[in-house]
Structure formats: structure tokens, C-alpha cells
Amino acid sequence: MDRVVLIVDDQRDILKLLRATLESLKNPEIKIFEAPSGEEALLESSRHKIDLLVTDYLLPGITGVELMHKVRARHPEARGILITGMTDRKIRDDMLNAGASAIFDKPIPLADFLDAVERGLGLVRTIFPPEKTDAKTESRQARLSDLLANFRQDYRAQTVFLINDRGLVQARAGSLHDSSMEVSIVSTVTSIHHASLKLARHNHQETLESYHIFRGGDHDMVFVPVNPLYALLVAGAGLASDDRILETVNGILSLRREVERLLRTIGATGELHAIAPAVDLPVPQTIVETAPTKPGRKLTDRLITTDAEPAPEMEALLENDKVKKVKPKDVDEFWQKAAETHGRKPLNSDVISIEEARKLGLLPDEGK
């Protein structure tokens, strides 16, 4: 059976983006229609049975909320997704009261948007598919759900989630004020859970003892890791107020112990492995000999450098055929040539040569 989606936005680029996003599902059951204004959208709704209305809040003419009221008056089963840049709490409440199943801020998180579309149309979920469960798993989830439901009632919370380390909700009681934010919020607190694990390991903790409080906004939220594999998220009005915060935290910690005990019975505990201390690796050293090593030679006769390889310039120089080792014979020839060039005359005028010294009688003749 075909599902009709009507997209309404006065910006052509947004219409193209949302249409291309919906077409990426490659679901032949989805039929897409577009309208640049609320009035034209009402005309389309008179021609087709609308299953899902996706509309911007600010439109030329009537608003997205007014449009949703009119479309739902004609098609009571129609679901709605509103897109807005408005942050005013009253406006968002008006959207939810109009029947919006999801509200997305701009820029639109496309994965969450597609998941909301699949939920709204009752399609097989391909973006965030639910985990397959067997009878044993369903029984465990029922017991967990009972624990969460009892806590929610006792502490007047709006919702309680048990989340695993992959960001999937394993058990729940209640729902968020704005259910469209569920995927984003769960994904964010999962990141917090991973960061808590890492910090606990760096701190050499044997158990995971931490909780995180977020006060204000749509909900007060308290997030508490149960073990390395699971965590609890509790949301509701006034949970973190000054007069309730201690009661709330103590209650959640008590709930955590009950949940942890139940998880232990099925072996879902996880372990908080310590991180191995960092090891200082030795710096690579190259020992360059200044001369052939001789027995008894001291280490100070060697040059130690931290370069693993000689510099390219030095390497090229050493490979040059013009560079030759100086031999003792070459040294003698050099000084012999130098003496001949200067006529065996000392370079220093205060010094006389050996021949001059013999002529002056200062040295005996070689034959004597």
C-alpha cells in the first residue's frame, strides 16, 4: 500500500534536499509530493490522502502548525514532522499539541529524520533497526521494564531508559517530552558513557562510580553508568531541583544496584580493565666510529647521535667518488710539494731552515 508524504517549504533547496533524502530509502511504497506554501499544501491534501506531513514552521501565509491542524482535520491519521529554527518553548509545545511526532532543528540531522519517517509511516526500520530478541531476552526486558516503570512512578519521572554501550535502548518506561530528540540524546549520552569509562581506567578505578546531571531545558536529566556495558538515563521535570536532587540521585543509585543485580544473573557485567601504563621507548641511537675500534678503547672515543640515519647531504657526500681517504703517503707528498713551492723557505721570518743552521755552524755536517 502506498504511503503519501507531503513536503512543504518555501525554500526550493530544502525541498530538493528532503526529497532526495526520502528517495534514498528506495522504498517503492513512498509517494512524494511538494508544496512551497501552506495554501498550496492544502490543495495537495484535497487531492491525495496524506500519511505524513513534513513542513517548515515559518511559511508564507499560514504557519506549519496551522497547516498541520488543517491537514489532520481532513486526514486524522496523518502524522507530522515539523522543521524549525525556533527555540521558543511555547512554540515547540504548540507543534507537539498539533500532532507533530518529531521536531527537527536546522540543519536537519538526516539519519534521525529518516528514522522518524520510517516510524511515522510504520515501515520496516532500516536506519536504526531494533535488535532481534528471543523469548529469554524478552523475559529479561520485561523484568527490567518493571523496575524502570516502578522507579518512574515513585519518583515522578517522565522517562527512564536503560541504554547499552552501542547506543541502543534495551528497556524503557515513558517517553521524552520531544520524542524526535531520542536518537540524538541517546547517542550523546552514549559518548559520555564511553568517556566515563576511559576516565575511570585512567584513574585506576576498580568500579565505575559516576553520575551526570543536566538541569533545565525540556527535562532535568540524570545519567548514571551501571557497568561498562549499560547505563541509565532518567528525565523529568524538576528532578534536579534543589529540593529534589538528593532524593533523585539516591533513588537512581538504588535503581542502579537493582538493575546491576539483574544483569549479573544473565552474565551481562562487563569488566573495567585498567589501562596499561605508558612505556618510554628507547630513542634509536647510531654509534659513529671516529676511528677503527681498538682493544681497551674508551666509550668517549665514539660519537653518539640520536639520528637513526645520516642526513641526505652527508650521505651524498660520503658516496661521492671525489671524496678520498687521506693516506700517510699523500700527507708526505703534500708537504714535499709545499716545501718546493716555497723554496724550502720557512713561512715564519724568525725561523731559519736546517741548511742555514748548518752553514752558520750551528749544526754538525751530516757526514761528520
Domain at 91, CATH number: 3.40.50.2300
DSSP category for residue 178: S
pLDDT at 296: 46
Residue 298 is assigned to a structural domain of this protein: no
Do 117 and 147 lie in one domain? The reply is: no
Task: Identify whether 100 is part of a domain.
Answer: yes
Are 73 and 183 found together in one domain?
Answer: no
pLDDT reported for residue 70: 94
Nine-digit cell at 256? Answer: 542502579
Whole-number pLDDT of residue 125: 75
What was the pLDDT predicted at 218?
Answer: 82
Question: Which of the two residues, 60 and 217, has the higher pLDDT score?
Answer: 60
Q: Give the neighbor-by-neighbor strand order of the sheet with 169-174.
A: 169-174, 159-164, 230-236, 220-227, 212-214
pLDDT of 186 > 50? The answer is yes
| Mean residue pLDDT across the chain | 77
Structural domain that includes position 328: 323-368
The mean-pLDDT minimum among 133-137, 169-173, 223-227 falls in 133-137
- In a shared domain, residues 153 and 232: yes
On whether the CB atoms of residues 263 and 269 are closer than 8 A, the answer is yes
Average of per-residue pLDDT across 154-182: 85
Q: pLDDT band for position 75 (50/70/90)?
A: very high
Q: Is residue 159 part of a domain?
A: yes
Three-class SS of 195-264? HHHHHHHHCCCCCCCCCEEECCCCCEEEEEEEECCEEEEEEECCCCCCCCHHHHHHHHHHHHHHHHHHHH
Let me know if residue 299 belongs to a domain: no
Tell me, yes or no, whether 343 lies in a domain.
Answer: yes
- Does 218 or 80 have the greater pLDDT score? 80
Q: Is the pLDDT of residue 281 over 80?
A: no
pLDDT band, very low/low/confident/very high, at 361 (cuts 50, 70, 90): low
Determine the pLDDT at residue 292: 45
Average pLDDT over residues 202-211: 85
pLDDT, greater one: 166 or 296: 166
Condensed to tens digits (0 to 9), the pLDDT of residues 320-338 reads: 544 445 555 555 565 566 5
Cα(11)–Cα(46) distance, integer angstroms: 23
What is the arithmetic mean of pLDDT over 216-230?
90
**Of 293 and 271, the one with more pLDDT:** 271
Q: How confident is the model at residue 165 (pLDDT cuts 50, 70, 90)?
A: confident
**Among 80-84, 203-207, 227-231, 288-292, the least confident range:** 288-292
Q: For position 131, what pLDDT does the model report?
A: 59
- pLDDT higher at 348 or 243: 243
Domain CATH code at residue 180:
3.30.450.30
Whether the pLDDT of residue 81 is over 90: the answer is: yes
Residue 366 banded pLDDT, cuts 50, 70, 90? low
Structural domain count of the chain: 3
* pLDDT greater at residue 299 or residue 169: 169
Cell numbers that stand for 223 in this block: 545519567
Neighbouring C-beta atoms of residue 230, cutoff 10 Å: 22
C-alpha cell at 190: 552514549
Highest mean pLDDT among 133-142, 154-163, 198-207, 270-279: 154-163
Residue showing cell 541517546: 186
- 309 domain residue, yes or no: no
Q: How many CB atoms lie within 10 A of CB 22?
A: 20
Q: Would you say residue 242 lies in a domain?
A: yes
Q: Report percent pLDDT > 70 for the chain.
A: 68
Q: Is residue 276 part of a domain?
A: no
> Which residues does residue 102 pair with via DSSP β-bridges, in sequence order?
81
